[in-house]
C-alpha cells in the first residue's frame, strides 16, 4: 500500500517478543485508526534498516504519524529515518520487553488503547503532539568518516551496556530474557560486574577542560529511567534542551550496589558520583574500550561525542502532565 499524505503508518516488528501474530496486530491498528476517522498503512520490517527506511518514506509522503509496534528498539530504529523537525509524529504500540518510553509517558500498555489514546493526542482532543528533545551520538566509521545515531531515551557506557551486550551475545541469557523479561538485564549486569575493572576515559562537558576518570557506569539520559525500575536521572525532562549525565567512578560493582537507591529515585551525591546536565559531551577512551548501548541496543565502539537536539522530534502524548514531559 502506498503511503498517502495524512496517513497513520504502523511499523510492525514481529521479533519484539510479543505474543500477538502480525495479522492480529494489524487488525488492531486498523481498528483504532478507523475509529479516529483516519487511514492506516501497515509496514512489516525485518531489521532496523528497513524500519528507518519506512520512516523516511512516511516523512517524505507527508504521513501524519508513524507508530512503532514493538519495543524501545523499534522506536529507535524509526527515529533514525525521521529527519530533525519532521512533522510526522512518532507514536508507540508497546510490545517489547521494557517499553520504557511508554512507561515514562504513561501510555496505555494494550495495543488498541495505546493507538486510540495517541490518535486523540494527534487530533488534540486529549493530550497533544509535543515537540521534544532527542540525543545524537557521533562516531567514526572504519574508513575514518563521521556518522551519527539518534536516540530517544538513553545512551550509556560501562556496566549497563555490558549487560545489554551480554544478553545479545549469549543464547542462554536470551532465553532467560524471554522468560523473565526486564529482570534478565539485572542478572546479566551482576554477571558482568564480577571481577570487572573500571574503564579509563576522559570526558568534557560543554567545552570545559577534560577530566580523566575510571568509570564503572556512565549514562546519558534524555529521559529518567534505566529500564522501568531505576530512576537514574530524576531531574531529566525531554523539553529542557539538555541531556543528563550520571557517572559512577570506580569498579562496576559499586554502581550495582547503589541500584536500590535508584529504584526510589534517590542517588547519593559526592565523591565518585556525578549527576549534571549538559548540551555536549566529548569522550576520549584511554584504555580498554567500554561497551556502549543506545536505547537498549548495542552501540558503536567508536563513539566520541553526544549532543542534545532541542525540540527536534514530534511525539504523541496523551498525558503531557507526565514528569519526563515537563509536566
Which domains can be identified in the chain, with CATH numbers?
Answer: 8-126 (3.40.50.10330), 135-310 (2.60.200.40)
In this predicted model, what pLDDT tens digit does every residue of 64-99 receive, in sequence order?
999 999 999 999 999 999 999 999 999 999 998 889
Could you give the dihedral angle defined by the CA atoms of residues 40, 44, 47 and 51, in that order, rounded to the nearest 10 degrees?
Answer: -10
Higher pLDDT, 211 or 96: 211
- List Cβ neighbours of 257 (8 Å cut-off, separation of 6 or more): none
Percent of the chain residues topping a pLDDT of 70: 94
- Region 151-173 average pLDDT: 89
Q: What is the DSSP letter of 208?
A: P
What does the pLDDT read at residue 181?
81
Sign of CA dihedral 272, 269, 72, 38: negative
Distance CA 203, CA 283 (A): 4
What does the pLDDT read at residue 46?
87
Distance CA 275, CA 279 (A): 14
| pTM score of the predicted model | 0.91
Lowest-confidence region among 150-159, 224-233, 273-282? 224-233
In this predicted model, what pLDDT tens digit does every residue of 115-158 receive, in sequence order?
999 999 999 999 999 999 999 999 999 899 999 999 999 999 99
Amino acid at each position: 500500500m502506498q503511503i498517502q499524505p495524512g496517513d497513520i503508518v504502523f511499523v510492525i516488528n514481529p521479533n519484539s517478543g510479543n505474543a500477538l501474530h502480525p495479522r492480529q496486530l494489524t487488525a488492531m491498528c486498523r481498528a483504532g485508526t478507523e475509529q479516529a476517522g483516519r487511514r492506516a498503512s501497515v509496514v512489516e520490517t525485518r531489521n532496523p534498516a528497513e524500519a528507518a527506511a519506512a520512516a523516511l518514506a512516511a516523512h517524505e509522503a507527508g504521513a501524519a504519524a508513524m507508530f512503532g509496534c514493538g519495543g524501545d528498539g523499534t522506536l529507535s530504529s524509526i527515529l533514525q529515518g525521521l529527519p530533525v523537525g519532521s512533522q510526522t509524529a512518532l507514536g508507540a504500540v508497546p510490545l517489547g520487553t521494557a517499553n520504557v518510553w511508554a512507561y515514562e509517558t504513561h501510555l496505555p500498555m494494550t495495543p488498541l488503547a495505546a493507538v486510540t489514546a495517541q490518535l486523540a493526542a494527534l487530533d488534540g482532543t486529549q493530550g497533544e503532539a509535543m515537540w521534544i528533545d532527542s540525543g545524537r551520538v557521533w562516531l567514526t566509521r572504519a574508513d575514518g568518516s563521521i556518522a551519527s545515531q539518534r536516540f530517544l531515551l538513553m545512551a550509556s557506557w560501562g556496566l549497563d551496556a555490558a549487560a545489554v551486550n551480554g544478553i545479545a551475545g549469549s543464547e542462554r541469557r536470551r532465553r532467560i530474557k524471554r522468560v523473565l523479561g526486564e529482570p534478565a538485564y539485572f542478572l546479566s549486569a551482576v554477571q558482568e560486574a564480577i571481577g570487572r575493572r573500571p574503564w579509563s576515559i576522559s570526558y568534557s562537558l560543554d567545552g570545559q577542560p577534560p577530566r580523566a576518570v575510571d568509570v564503572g557506569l556512565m549514562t546519558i539520559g534524555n529521559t529518567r529511567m534505566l529500564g522501568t525500575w531505576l530512576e537514574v536521572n530524576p531531574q531529566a525532562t525531554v523539553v529542557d534542551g539538555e541531556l543528563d549525565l550520571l557517572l559512577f567512578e570506580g569498579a562496576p560493582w559499586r554502581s550495582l550496589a547503589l541500584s536500590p537507591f535508584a529504584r526510589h529515585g534517590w542517588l547519593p551525591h559526592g565523591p565518585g558520583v556525578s549527576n549534571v546536565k549538559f548540551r555536549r559531551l566529548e569522550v576520549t577512551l584511554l584504555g580498554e574500550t567500554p561497551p556502549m548501548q543506545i536505547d537498549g541496543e548495542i552501540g558503536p565502539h567508536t563513539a566520541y561525542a553526544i549532543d542534545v537536539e532541542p525540540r527536534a522530534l514530534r511525539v504523541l502524548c496523551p498525558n503531557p502532565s507526565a514528569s519526563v514531559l515537563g509536566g
